Structure 1
Amino acid sequence: MSGGVDGEVRVSTDGKGVPTVHGPDRVAVARGLGWVTARDRLFQLDLFRRRATGRLAEVFGPGLLAHDTAQRTLGIRIAAERALRDLPPGQRALVEAYTRGVNERLATLPDLPVEFAVTGGAPEPWHPGDCTAVALLLAQMLGGDGAEHRMRAVMEAALPAGVVSFLLPEQGPYDVGIDGRPAPPPQPPDPALLATLAGIARDTRPDPGAAPVVGADESPFGSNAWAVSGRRTADGRAVLANDMHLPLTAPPLLYRVSLRYPGHEVDGLVVPGVPAVIAGSTGRIAWGATRLTADNARLVPLGDDEPLTVRTERIEVRGGEPVEVRVQESRFGPVYGPALLGRPVALRWRPLEPGGLDLGLADLAEAGTAEEACDVANRAAGPPLNIVVADAHGRVAWTVTGSFPGAARLPRLVDPPGGLVVVANNLTPQHAAAAHVAANGFSACRARRIVTLLETGAPLAEADLAAVQLDTDAGFFAFYRDLVRAAAGDAGDTPPALRDALDAVEAWDGTAGAGARGLGLLILLRENLRESLFAALLQPCRALDPRFRYTWFDHELPLRALLRSEPAVVPAPYRTRARFVLGQLELSAAMLRVAAGPATAPARVADVTWGALNRTGARHPLSPLLPDLAAMLDLPDAALPGCAESVHAAHTGFGPAMRLVASPGRPGDAILHLPGGQSGDPRHPNYADQFDDWLRGRPAPLLPGEPRDDVVLAHLQEAR
């Protein structure tokens, strides 16, 4: 690298607040990236490092004490400092340059952002270890804490082996491979097993006041990513599409940047605090990422003679006395969470261990081909992700990145004959080919729908892929509509109280569009049917462990098998499937009336639209503390199309945190959506100016526009 951090760095900003950072090399550009991120997102930077290291109670009070205690128990700050020490020299140079840029902006601020007036005091200087702490936070958000291992251990202790394997299937009804080819259909369940389950459900009396058993939909992170090769485009170009599903916040979780240094033009998105473009495009490649349900956490039962060390963490609490937390450490990791089957457990989470985390994904911006990008991803030890790539040679690829104990070789697929790679948080035969990489994936419903939409036979271009990102087909729920129809036919006379609910089911148009009627009722019906059935079958698990939760993400196969089995699997007090389904429909309709709100709810459930229930809900972290200012702090509360099982994946406060469609070397044709704006200042014109394009799916350019100002960091003076 030439020039170092002392080379001149220039930051220009367009009318949307999108910065272009020019420098003599990528280290110098990292300095500019830190500077401009602090300019636009200083409070968010501070919040991310506090969230990572367990220091939120200092500014938000005792309500965040449980969160801080968990983070201190994990020892995120300790692991972040170790990861920083172990970074290769090139990555360390990026982190130090980024830190310098943040602190240069902090030292020259004319005024602190308004948020600090509420939380009190000025932010501390940025530290290089804050970058690795935020990277660990991302790994934590996108990874797991061993919950599925806790669940499986209890189930294996409480249930027959056949029941366990039935409820924890390795396949689902929509499975497809990374190349889009349908997987072999799963085997139907054993009729004798279903008969046994019918008896268990009939004879079980779950506690109606108990907490829900099913916790499988509680981790709100996902994404779609796919790429089509030159075989599927008119001019031989490869095109990438990526939409990351994350909490919708004000400002957005991601930040747009363009980076320019000799031989490189990089346009994409970063997470404030981490000097790495996580999705973007260059002249050579375009890349995107989705969450990988990594198999990198273990719960290790500890014996009575296990040697433990103890450290004490002091947590400052705004408006209260400091709290001291006593953390026990084993040779495997911290003692974490409740006991498992009567034994304390240590969490062995790979990112906390030496070599478990680095910033190697920053090198993706310098990869020249699909293979080189896969090599970069496989070397990196960052958050667990699927990486999808398109290169300037018209080729596409998929692989995974992260740190996986016991994985000898990470899987990849380069330039498949069908010209497609696609992944939507589902696990595939390609994932399964590498042991100890991934487990407990989500339904392949979105991936299957993407494949269907791309099989047009016509050449594809950016606009076609962008249209797929906006698809709101919700055919997943047709099964439940048909279940209601069959139950109504079998039940004979329909009680008048159910006529409104049945009308709502018939009014559904098959989509998750904002104007769709009936979808909210079908979603609630599925959740209530699922909870009633699984609570009955998993009662022995609750008896063994009162905190037991069923956290298997893709449980649609056993759920549908139970709902159409003969003999019928029906929980008490119901005696027939028809009465069970209609009883849960009536309950769901009552819940929907409450959810719609008494002030605005239509007189009939059949008139409740999905957009009335599903809202953007992008809130500023301070708006709960300042309700009188919430209208200024929060982004517009609008009807949000899409649902968890549509390509346009969304639910209130959650959805596409970005949409990118790009072909390498063709940035002028690329599309990027951001749900908000670049600035973190609610008074700034760039606070929410990209929100409407994002909400309505209007094409917006990836490339920045004409600059409105320039800053030369070498002299720290502004030239307008």
Structure 2
Amino acid sequence: MAASEANSDSLTGQSGEDPLVGILERLDARLSSEAEISELPELQNPVAIERDASGIPHIKALNLKDAAFAQGYVHAQDRLFQIDLARRFASGRLSEVFGADTLNSDRFYRTLGLSQLAATAYQNLAPEAKAAIDAYSAGVNAYLATNPDLPPEFQALGYQPEPWQPTDTLVIAQEQNRIGVTDGEELDRARLLERGLSRDRIEKLINPYPEDAPTILQPEDIQPSTASIGQRELQGAIAKLPQENSLKMEMMEEVETLFSNPIEASNNWVISGSRTTTGKPFLANDPHLPLQEPSLWYQSHLETPEDEVIGVSFPGIPGILIGRNQDIAWGVTNTQVDGEDYYLLDETENGSGYVYRGEVRPYQIREETIQVRGAEPVSLPVQETVYGPVVSDLVGINQPIALQSIALQPVDGTVESALGIIQAQNWQEFREALDFDDAASAQSQNFVYADVDGNIGYIAAAKFPIRQPDHSGLYPVPGTGEFDWRGFIPFEEAPQVYNPESGFIVTANNKLTPANYPYEINGNFAVPYRAERIRELILSKDKLSLEDMQAIQLDQVSLLYRDFRPILERLEPISEAGQTWRDRLLAWDGDTQPDSVEASVFEAWYTELTRLPAAEVGQEYFDRPIFLSQAIQAGDPVLDRPGSEPGLFDEAARALEDAIERLGEPIRAWGDIHRASFVPSNPAQTSPNLQVSYGGDRYTVNIGPYNASDFSMEAGPSYRQIVDLSNPENSLYVNPPGQSSNPDSENFDDQLPLWQRGDYLPMTTEDYPLVELAVLLPEQSG
């Protein structure tokens, strides 16, 4: 929902005072005389933009509308190429700049139709959100109009950025919402089904969430409900699927990547004052996303007479998406909820329509034309159905299949919710900002909350489909109408808790709800190691300090190691080197620090173990640790190599030998072979990536996911934040590699060393070093 009526004046700002005096009264006199002053059309009131030593803008405005204008201005100033690329990516317009190399990506996004959805969503926006987006767009365009010297990427690629449109903001928001939604691994299951595997075997491979693993909500958090318990057996839920294995899966790797979130990870947690040394809550968040230069995030501080907020925004979108104001703090992780389904269509013989509820429905055809640099335009007719677009070509299935997704909706509550959260002063106002029953937001995020009065809370802000009793969402189903969604879980009954008995809440993309929750919620829930480790560390002390919060966020003890240690204990090494390293690994504590040589051997050994299912699943590395651990210890015969002894401990011993051979001599420390790499957002850039030594693995709290073929790490903690609600000015954050996209700027990578060694910047709205000042003034008429 948008900001409350009581706060609506803060968007437009009504004041009888001289606004320039109010904005500039606290500025340093020496710098104010040297300030860069710009007169800009469409700006309603003066705005001051202070820069601190890290290049973070502190925006002082009379109202949130002017603050949004200034935020658009500084996003363009620091990240112009990044935001232009983001809108092109989500709109399916990369090929206009990069040629035929990006056609697959453009076909994907043109098929989804995010641009059309954004255009409709703009018309459906509440007035406050529309005013903020309009102001933001005007700010971007004001920078473009007054700064003809473009970043070098535009010159290198030979094109000029177009004026920013409000729908550009919404198409970026649509894409960010889309990658937060999962398909419940339907395509993975369908691919295994096509390989001839039984459904029972598939469910062992893609194993369900362990019954004893932690869920976000605890059983005591569930309130009595009039809804009936919706848990159902898997076999019943898939009983009506076509029995023949007729789905031919030939999806291209590039498009498969577009459909999937490359990393199923983020952490946030909140601890009540009853468990802290300050008597007030702590809140921590570190979203795990691709590591890029420049950062995916942009630090900002926005201040008006009514509101003050600091945190990170997403370039291209106004507001603060993760952060704090003077009263509350919040953080987000992906819910990993299954909000997408694939429907197999019964197409007519002439291919012009499909049978739905006993009647022939004609396809609605949307004609798309993709402009391709250096080549002829490409025509793309897109077939639309009652469920959504036909995506057969994208997923490589040999029959018509349509995608229904909570993210492909002609509404978007991202900016509306952000405005409400910025202005929220308590739990009730925070909840109202996330109430998606009216806003129909496509967000799918776990929000944790804390306030200065000592309260903590959690809300899963998502549209949770209610499926038919015999449809789990785990496999594609016939699109005849019998498996249609029955609606969505009402907001009041969505997973949420306020001041839980436990005194803390942890979300790490783990399962949301325990068995006594009254609805079935499926999803691609992460292996629970991170959630288990965070809970373990929280419960290890009676009272936790700010330093303890940092230690938790930086922890790299691998619970993956704990799960696979029993295998090490039982295997018989093949060689003397194998014996030596087995003994060293058994004496190790599982802490995958960059200087650990044991971490190198363990991670290489585990990677070799992920090869065992290759023949069965048709995938070189099958990273399913719970399945692998159970299968090896149980002696799963399918994984036995031909000609080997029965049982899999000999395979585990051979994997250790292969790992040692792969690493060579001398075996280097983990951080020497496992390096965090920040990939340029410009795909045409040829300069080397920023790289630093790093620890962790895919399952540590301080995550270090890596490519199995070379141990390179291109995703991880993209931002870290810890908020101290006893003194919000004592809060911390860091945003690698830095604020600026200009490699010549000292703020390009100045936060990278902090991030690497586990340090932070003060998340302060006061007493920051002022090194630069810009004043934006309304253009004088006449």
**Length-normalised TM-score, structure 2:** 0.78
Give the whole-Å Cα distance in 1 for the aligned partners of 2:368 and 2:304: 43
Take 2:636 and 2:180, find their aligned partners in 1: how far apart are those partners?
Answer: 40
Q: What does residue 648 of structure 1 align with?
A: 702
What pairs with 1:54-133 in structure 2 (closer than 5 Å)? 54-133=92-171
Residue of structure 2 in register with 1:614 after alignment: 674
Give the distance between the partners of 1:173 and 1:20, measured in 2 at CA.
47
* Aligned counterpart for 1:355 among listed residues 398, 405, 411: 411
- 1:332 is aligned, of 387, 395, 411, to 387
Q: Which amino acid aligns with 2:609?
A: L
Residue 299 of structure 2 aligns to a residue in which SS? Answer: strand
From 567, 570, 594, the counterpart of 1:514: 594
Q: SS in structure 2 opposite 1:562? A: helix
Structure 2 residue 710 is the aligned partner of structure 1 residue 639: no
**Cα distance, 1:176 vs. partner?**
1.2
Aligned counterparts, 1:615-630, within 5 A: 615-622=675-682, 625-627=684-686, 630=687
Q: Does 1:713 align with 2:776?
A: yes
Report the counterpart of residue 653 of structure 2 in structure 1. Answer: 582
Q: Which moved more, 1:470-479 or 1:653-662?
A: 470-479
Instruction: Report the equivalent of 2:31.
Output: none
The equivalent of 1:323 in structure 2 is: 378
- The one of 707, 710, 718 aligned to 1:657: 718
Could you report, residue by residue, the CA deviation over 1:125-171 in whole angstroms, capped at 9, with x for unpaired residues? 10000011000111122223x36123345667855554344344433
Q: Partner of 1:346: helix, strand, or coil?
A: strand
Cα 1:429/1:311, change in 2 over 3 Å: closer
Is 2:304 aligned against 1:274? Answer: no
Is 1:148–2:185 an aligned residue pair?
A: yes
SS, match of residue 153 in structure 2? helix
Alignment of 1:496-535 (within 5 A): 498=578, 502=582, 505=585, 508-533=588-613, 535=615
How far apart are the structure 1 equivalents of 2:603 and 2:518? 35
The 1:403–1:432 alpha-carbon spacing in structure 2 relative to 1, beyond 3 Å, is farther
Aligned position for 1:200: none
Distance in 2 (alpha carbons) for counterparts of 1:584 and 1:238: 46
Q: Give the distance between the partners of 2:454 and 2:80, measured in 1 at CA.
A: 39
> What is the CA–CA distance in structure 1 between the aligned matches of 2:620 and 2:184, rounded to whole Å?
9
Once the two structures are overlaid, the 10-residue window that deviates more, 426-435 or 466-475, is: 426-435
Moved more, 254-263 or 478-487: 478-487
Separation in 2 of the partners of 1:12 and 1:673?
Answer: 19
* Residue of structure 2 aligned with 1:377, choices 429, 434, 455: 434
Q: For residues 123-522 of structure 1, what are the structure 2 equivalents within 5 Å?
A: 123-144=161-182, 146=183, 148-153=185-190, 158-160=196-198, 162-172=200-210, 175-178=213-216, 219-305=262-348, 306=354, 307-338=362-393, 342-355=398-411, 358-362=414-418, 363-379=420-436, 381-405=441-465, 406-409=487-490, 410-430=494-514, 433=517, 435=519, 437-488=521-572, 494-495=574-575, 498=578, 502=582, 505=585, 508-522=588-602
Q: 1:198: which partner in 2? A: none
Q: Compared with structure 1, are the counterparts of its residues 118 and 433 closer, same or farther at alpha carbon in structure 2 (3 Å cutoff)?
A: farther
**Shift of the alpha carbon at 1:263?**
2.6
Residue 435 of structure 2 aligns to a residue whose secondary structure is: helix
Deviations 1:267-290 (A, max 9, x none): 100000111311101111100001
Residues 91 and 115, structure 2, Cα contact 8 Å, conserved in 1: yes
TM-fit CA distance, 1:235: 3.4
For residue 497 of structure 1, report the CA deviation from its aligned partner.
Answer: 7.2
Instruction: Give CA-to-partner distance per residue, 1:513-543, whole Å, 9 cap, x none.
Output: 101123344334334434423743x5xxx7x
* Partner SS, residue 616 of structure 1: strand
Could you say which residue in structure 1 is the equivalent of 2:732? Answer: 671
CA contact (8 A) 1:658 1:672 kept: yes
CA distance in 1, matches of 2:515, 2:343: 25
Deviation at 1:675, TM superposition (A): 0.8
Letter of the structure 1 residue corresponding to residue 46 of structure 2: E
Residues in 1 aligned to 2:47 and 2:108: alpha-carbon distance in whole angstroms? 40
**Does the C-alpha gap of structure 1 residues 82 and 697 become closer, same or farther in structure 2, counting only changes over 3 Å?**
same
Q: Is residue 2:86 matched to residue 1:48?
A: yes
Q: Give the letter for the 1:95 counterpart.
A: I
The one of 64, 69, 72 equivalent to 1:26 is 64
SS in 1 for 2:771: strand
8 Å Cα contact 1:239-1:663 kept in structure 2: yes
**Counterpart code for 1:435:** Y
Residues 65 and 559 of structure 1: is their aligned pair in 2 closer, same or farther, counting only changes over 3 Å? same
- The structural deviation recorded for 1:688 is 1.1
- Aligned partner of 2:37 in structure 1 is none
Mean CA deviation greater in 508-517 or 24-33: 508-517
**Distance in 2 of aligned mates of 1:700 and 1:341:** 49
Q: CA distance change for structure 1 residues 642 and 152 in 2, over 3 Å: closer, same or farther?
A: same
Q: 1:631-663: per-residue Cα shift (whole Å, max 9, x none)?
A: 5xx43x110122111110123121111110013
Q: Percent identity?
A: 29
Q: Distance in 1 between matches of 2:744 and 2:207?
A: 50
Which consecutive residues of structure 2, in runs of 5 or more, have no partner in the other structure?
Answer: 1-7, 14-42, 222-251, 349-353, 355-361, 466-486, 706-712
- Of 504-513 and 16-25, deviating more is 504-513
SS at structure 1 position matched to 2:185? helix
| Residue 696 (structure 1) shift | 0.8
User: Would the aligned equivalents of 1:281 and 1:664 in 2 still touch at CA under 8 Å?
Assistant: no
Is the contact made by 2:345 and 2:402 (CA closer than 8 Å) also made in structure 1?
yes
Q: Secondary structure at the match of 1:61?
A: helix
Task: Return the alpha-carbon distance in structure 2 between the equivalents of residues 448 and 673 of structure 1.
Answer: 25
Tell me how far apart the structure 2 counterparts of residues 282 and 342 of structure 1 sit (CA, whole Å): 52
One-letter amino acid of the structure 2 residue matched with residue 250 of structure 1? E
Amino acid at match of 1:686: N
Aligned twin of 2:629: 560
The amino acid across from 1:366 in the alignment is: Q
Offset, 1:408: 2.2
Structure 1 residues 134, 371: CA separation in 2 closer, same or farther (over 3 Å shift)?
A: same
The answer to whether the Cα contact below 8 Å between 1:407 and 1:437 also exists between their aligned partners in 2 is no
Distance 2:73 2:154 in 1: 18
Change (3 A) 1:681 1:689: same
Moved more, 467-476 or 559-568: 559-568
Structure 1 range deviating more: 408-417 or 373-382: 373-382
Q: 1:411 to 1:181 in 2, by over 3 A?
A: closer
- Deviations 1:175-211 (Å, cap 9, x if unpaired)? 113267999xxxxxxxxxxxxxxxxxxxxxxxxxx99
1:83-130, CA deviations, whole angstroms, 9 ceiling, x for partnerless residues? 111111111111111111111111111411111111212211100000
Gaps of 5+ in 1: 184-209, 543-547, 594-601
Deviation at 1:225, TM superposition (A): 0.2
SS in 2 for 1:488: coil
1: CA distance, partners of 2:668 / 2:220: 36
CA distance in 2, matches of 1:621, 1:313: 26
Q: Secondary structure at the match of 1:618?
A: strand
